[in-house]
Amino acid sequence: MIMKNIKINNNPIGIFDSGVGGLNIMNEIHKILPMENIVYFADTLNLPYGSKSKDKIIDLSRKISFFLVKKKVKLIVIACNTASIFSLNIMKNFKIPMLGVIDPCIKFAILKSKNMKIGIIGTEATVNSNLYVNKINKIAKYNVYQQACPLFVPFVEEGIINGNIIDVIIKKYLDSLLKIDIDTLILGCTHYSFLKKALIKNIKKKISIIDPSKYMAQEVLNVLKKKSLISENRFKKNYSFLKIYVSCNEKKFKNTYYKLFNKKIFNVKKVNLEDM
């Protein structure tokens, strides 16, 4: 359906993460907004963010956001749970919409849970912040259980998302959550979206898995509509562009992308964060 009376803005959507985690969000955005231009930044030099200090994460997020603003993005998606937790409120002085991945996942987790037992897996920084627990309990008195999964991100960054070693790690991390009989599981790190099939295989019971990718894509669509920022490119076939920047080792990023999606990507450029 063609939307009328919507202000046209062809500037790109900006997305950033510590590595490949936000690529699933990028792909979901492209599915529902195929004519939107996208600029993606992967801070491969400083990954993983989950073990970094709050001040370091805020500093990196600010530098990357300024870089994206220089690329004339109209909206920024912080496609990293750790960066969303520590940086989103501080970055709201930017003159463009800034979206984090926390709130959309919480909203749908509360809607999905029937027994009011919600599990969260994330990085050590995400779990230690207790932000998910605090936000959920402000809405309703659910039982919320957390588990840090520090090994997941390094494996995903190597393109390893299934196999015996992944099965062993998933069982080790999720055993305590499953014994509590959670009925909803929030993937509290965008990298974990790549492990969704392996998680389903090893959980072996009906649990609603809240994957940030599709919920964030819908949030982007809602904000673009609300702010009248829908691109006119949606009326032009194959018009949109994708540009990817990394802070280190563009060759490795390309290789990991191929392992994850079974297709090559070429337009990856290295930039120096310290020059931003």
| Active site members | 80, 189
End-to-end CA distance of the chain: 41
Cα 156–Cα 251–Cα 193 angle in degrees, nearest 5 = 20
- Whole-angstrom distance, CA of residue 13 vs CA of residue 11: 7
Residue 79 DSSP one-character state? -
Please report, as a single letter, which amino acid is at residue 191. Answer: H
* b/e burial code for range 125-139 (CB count within 10 A of at least 16 → b): bbbebebbbebbeee
Q: Count how many residues are written for the chain.
A: 276
Quick check: 67 and 41 in contact, CB under 8 A?
A: yes
Biggest distance spanned by C-alpha atoms of the chain: 54
How far apart are the C-alpha atoms of 40 and 12, rounded to whole Å? 10
Q: Of the candidates 31, 17, 66, 14, which has an alpha carbon nearest to the alpha carbon of residue 257? A: 17
Structure tokens at 108: 């749908």
Q: CA-CA distance, 230 to 245, in Å (whole number)?
A: 24
